[in-house]
């Protein structure tokens, strides 16, 4: 569930996404009106995973209903929101640096309100509000409905904060303001929080307990997206396989939800993320294989190839179980692409454990992967119970070995596609030339091809002629 490159280091995930929308023409306003108008211009910078991107869209929708407008120019904004990520220490440090950098805007204009929202809110509220005085408001992921009220409080000179986590909030009734740039693919959040308690992970602490969103509201959102031209949705949750909706003694599972979303229209591609190896069911795999428009790509984070480490991580599966799930995917959906997440240097990891990770990756032949060094997060089970005992040089060395193996596997995966034909959904002009277009296969691989006169959102058939390390290059078959 990420918006960074298909292969390589997930550190790329934490790049900020300044939101590009046109702001009102402020030149014709009187100085007073100009000031009032500016206070209502909001600039949002989003860090972290796709879930945060989807959350920023919910935040913008709540603010738009209260008279705020998006601006892409931070210098024009009266309200600056930083949607934060806590997953690794380096993600937090980057945001910290960014907050310090934007504080200078307040020196130019004291009226500006700066807010920290999202995953860092609960953990760092005291430091950010009081000790370092970097922001005026702090709002946690379950309190976004309160934002207009909190902004008003901050405008009257008070620091405003709400970091309460909720057992119910899913923002089901809110129609997110779309911030993606291509107008073809969009995220749809189907659940929030997580109940899994993986030992290294801060998500259950900063985003709260798992709750599923009403399927009716999901369907409504998906239909609206399709009707406004979108051709791909990615259903998002920390563990989509545990999606559950109870109504009239019936339980609607993720496999059923995926099926009803796929039935919205055969021209709508459906993706989802993230699956958990302990929960992904054959039922789900069979659903994916039955529908042409459910994309043939599964992101199944392994984290480690060593059963001993997986146990310490509290992942609730073994290496053999994981391999069994991959075998099931390969037999039920033969053309399915597979990607994973790997962590190097978790507590007590030996060289043998690390070799087990490499051998699992090689065996699975992942098409791409997101790879990280273990980063201890305060309050997690690992931080409380285990020593972060792998020296940084060893974590880095192992991570580099994992990355170079994945580069090799990704190259093999792309070379295997040369000479094949794929249905591609066009996402827009390619960066390299206006005559070239770029799109994706069902397997989530990027394809570039000459496509003069073509439009984004169209499906085309492409013959793959060659590949680079990141891209397939082909030509359209009429
Ligand atoms: N819920 C998803 C899952 O279980 O696969 C992913 C959640 S997390 C936002 C994304 C990835 O970040 C994880 O799969 C894991 O590889 C990585 N991650 C989480 N906590 C980490 C930590 N403390 N240090 C390094 N990587 C971490
Ligand atoms: Fe974190 Fe594990 Fe939940 Fe994923 S499943 S969000 S890694 S606790």
Q: Secondary structure of the chain in the HEC alphabet?
A: CCCCCCCEEHHHHHCCCCCCCCCCCHHHCCHHHHHHHHHCEEEEEECCCHHHHHHHHHHHHHHHCCCCEECCCHHHCCEEEEEECCCCHHHHHHHHHHHHHHHHHHHHCCCCEEEEEECHHHHHHHHHHHHCCCCCEEECCCCHHHHHHHHHHHHCCCCEEECCCCCCCCCCCCCCCCCCCCCCEEEEECEECCCCCCCCCCHHHHHCCCEECCHHHHHHHHHHHHHCCCCEEEEECCCHHHCEEEECCEEEEHHHHHHHHHCCCCCCEEEEECCCCCCCCHHHHHHHHHCCCECCEEECCCECCCHHHHHHCCCCCCHHHHHHHHHHHHHHCCCCEEEEEEEECCCCCCHHHHHHHHHHHHHHCCCEEEEEECCCCCCCHHHHHCCCCCCHHHHHHHHHHHHHHHHHHHHHHHHCCCCCEEEEEEEEECCCCCCEEEEECCCCCEEEEECCCCCCCCEEEEEEEEECCCCEEEEEEC
Q: Which atom of ligand 2 is nearest to the CA of 195?
A: 3
Closest by Cα among 82, 73, 59 to 177:
59
Closest protein CA for atom 4 of ligand 2:
238
Ligand 1 atom closest to Cα of residue 194: 1
120/86 Cα distance (integer angstroms): 5
Ligand nearest to the CA of residue 388, numbered in listed order: 1
Q: Find the 238 Cα to ligand 2 centroid distance in Å.
A: 6
Question: Which atom of ligand 1 is the closest one to the Cα of 196?
Answer: 4
In the sheet that holds 337-344, the strands lie side by side as 8-9, 368-373, 337-344, 297-299
Strands 113-118 vs 137-139: parallel, antiparallel or unpaired: parallel
CA dihedral 362, 364, 370, 372 (to 10 degrees): -60
> Closest ligand 1 atom, CA of 48?
9
Whole-angstrom distance, CA of residue 15 vs CA of residue 74: 16
* Gap between the Cα atoms of 77 and 249, Å rounded: 49
Which residue, judged by its Cα, is nearest atom 12 of ligand 1? Answer: 87
Side-chain-side CA neighbours of residue 394 (13 Å): 13
Indicate which atom in ligand 1 lies nearest the CA of residue 299: 5
Per-residue pLDDT of the chain (478 residues; tens, 9 = 90+): 332 222 223 223 333 333 333 333 444 445 545 545 555 899 999 999 999 999 999 999 999 999 999 998 999 999 999 999 999 999 999 998 999 899 888 888 888 999 999 999 988 888 888 777 889 999 999 999 999 999 999 999 888 999 999 999 999 999 999 887 789 999 999 999 999 999 999 999 999 999 999 999 999 999 999 999 999 999 999 999 999 999 878 899 999 999 999 999 999 999 999 999 999 999 999 999 999 999 999 999 999 999 999 999 999 999 999 999 999 999 999 999 999 999 999 999 999 999 999 999 999 999 999 999 999 999 999 999 999 999 999 999 999 999 999 999 999 999 999 999 999 999 999 887 778 999 999 999 999 999 888 999 999 999 999 999 889 999 999 7
How far is the CA of 400 from the CAs of 8, 83, 390, in angstroms? 10, 29, 15
Residues lining ligand 2, Cβ inside 6 A = 194, 196-198, 201, 203-204, 238-239, 276
Beta strand pairing call for 446-450 and 79-84? unpaired
Closest C-alpha residue for ligand 1 atom 16: 341
- Cα of 194 from ligand 2 centre, angstroms: 6
CA atoms of 449 and 278, how far apart (whole Å): 39
288: tokens are 């994916």
Pocket test for ligand 2, best of 193, 239, 280 (most atoms within 8 A of CB): 239
User: Ligand 2, closest atom to CA 274?
Assistant: 4
Q: Give nearest CA residue, ligand 1 atom 7.
A: 238
Which residue puts its alpha carbon closest to atom 2 of ligand 2?
198
Q: How far, in Å, from the CA of 200 to the mean position of ligand 2?
A: 9
What tokens were used for 375? 């980063």
Pair of tokens at residue 418 = 């040369």
Tell me, in angstroms, the distance from the centre of ligand 2 to residue 387's CA: 20
The pLDDT of residue 182 is 83
Mutate to test the pocket of ligand 2, among 202, 204, 304 (most ligand atoms within 8 A of CB): 204
**Structural tokens at position 474:** 């082909």
Residues with CB under 6 A from ligand 1: 49, 87-88, 200-201, 203, 238-239, 274, 276, 301, 303, 341, 343, 372, 374-375, 377
Ligand 2: nearest atom to the Cα of 276: 5
d(CA 32, CA 100): 29
| Residue 19, pLDDT score | 33
Compute the C-alpha angle 375/275/244, nearest 5°. 120
CB atoms within 10 A of CB 283: 14
pTM value?
0.91
Rounded Cα distance between 118 and 257, Å, is 27
C-alpha 136 – ligand 2 centre gap (Å) = 30
Phi/psi at 165 (5° precision) = -95, 155
CA-238 nearest atom, ligand 2:
6
């Amino acid at each position: 569930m990420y918006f960074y490159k298909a292969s390589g280091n997930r550190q790329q995930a934490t790049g900020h996404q300044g939101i590009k929308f046109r702001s009102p023409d402020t030149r014709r306003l009187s100085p007073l009106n100009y000031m009032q108008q500016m206070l209502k211009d909001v600039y949002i910078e989003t860090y972290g995973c796709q879930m945060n991107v989807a959350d920023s869209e919910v935040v913008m929708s709540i603010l738009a209903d209260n008279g705020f407008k998006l601006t892409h120019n931070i210098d024009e904004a009266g309200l600056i929101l930083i949607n934060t990520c806590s997953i690794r220490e380096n993600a937090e440090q980057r945001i910290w640096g960014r907050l310090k950098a934007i504080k200078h805007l307040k020196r130019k204009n004291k009226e500006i309100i700066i807010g920290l929202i999202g995953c860092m809110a609960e953990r760092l509220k005291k430091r950010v509000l009081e000790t370092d005085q970097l922001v005026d408001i702090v709002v946690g992921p379950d309190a976004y409905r309160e934002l207009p009220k909190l902004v008003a409080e901050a405008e009257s000179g008070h620091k405003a904060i709400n970091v309460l986590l909720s057992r119910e909030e899913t923002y089901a009734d809110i129609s997110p303001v779309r911030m993606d740039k291509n107008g073809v693919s969009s995220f749809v959040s189907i659940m929030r929080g997580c109940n899994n308690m993986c030992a290294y992970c801060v998500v259950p602490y900063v985003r709260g307990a798992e709750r599923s969103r009403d399927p009716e509201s999901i369907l409504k959102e998906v239909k609206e997206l399709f009707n406004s031209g979108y051709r791909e949705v990615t259903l998002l949750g920390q563990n989509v396989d545990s999606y559950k909706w109870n109504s009239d003694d019936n339980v609607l599972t993720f496999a059923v939800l995926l099926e009803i979303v796929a039935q919205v229209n055969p021209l709508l591609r459906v993706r989802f993320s993230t699956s958990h190896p302990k929960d992904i069911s054959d039922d789900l795999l069979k659903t994916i294989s039955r529908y042409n428009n459910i994309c043939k790509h599964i992101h199944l984070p392994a984290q480690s190839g060593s059963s001993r480490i997986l146990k310490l991580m509290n992942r609730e599966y073994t290496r053999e179980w994981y391999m069994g799930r991959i075998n099931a995917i390969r037999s039920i959906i033969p053309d399915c692409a597979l990607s994973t997440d790997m962590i190097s240097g978790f507590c007590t990891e030996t060289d043998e454990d690390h070799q087990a990770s490499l051998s699992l990756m090689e065996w699975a032949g992942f098409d791409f992967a997101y790879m990280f060094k273990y980063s201890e997060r305060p309050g997690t089970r690992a931080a409380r119970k285990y020593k972060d005992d792998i020296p940084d040089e060893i974590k880095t060395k192992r991570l580099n070995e994992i990355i170079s193996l994945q580069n090799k596997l990704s190259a093999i995966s792309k070379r295997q596609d040369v000479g094949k034909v794929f249905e591609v959904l066009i996402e827009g002009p390619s960066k390299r030339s206006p005559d070239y277009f770029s799109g994706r296969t069902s397997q989530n691989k990027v394809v570039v091809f000459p496509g003069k006169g073509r439009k984004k959102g169209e499906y085309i058939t492409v013959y793959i002629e060659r590949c680079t390390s990141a891209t397939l290059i082909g030509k359209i078959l009429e």
